[in-house]
Amino acid sequence: MFDISVREDFSSAHNLRGYKGKCESLHGHNWRVEVVVSSKKLDKTGMVMDFKKLKEIVYSAIKDLDHKYLNDIPYFKKVNPTSENIARYIFNKIKPLVKKESVALKNVSVWENQGSKATYSA
């Protein structure tokens, strides 16, 4: 099995509902997103898929989050915008796009800072 990954960044603000602590107040992050895809075989050029194409797919999933207040996005009006839920949101947006590329989406990780990340895989 071969894995490749790409990272992209976005900035946004949120506040956590039902949380007692500093994060219940409006605050922002410079989020880092890592997407890992896998394949049992390589294409004719010897790649799982083109890194450039994977970066385009990731960007298409996060562009609507960039410089936004996440709590205003319809999905996050019902789902608390935690790092875990952001990772799942991005995973679900990317999954059908990478499937078209004949690769499997392994996981999506979201860092809210250098020392804290959440990973979602199905």
Active site residues: 23, 67, 112
- Written as one string, the DSSP assignment of 11-25 is EEEE--TT--SGGGS
Tell me how far apart the terminal alpha carbons of the chain are, to the nearest angstrom. Answer: 17
CA distances in angstroms from 46 to 7, 74, 80, listed in the order given: 21, 40, 41
Task: Give the burial string for 69-79 (b: 16+ CB within 10 Å, else e).
Answer: ebbebebbeeb
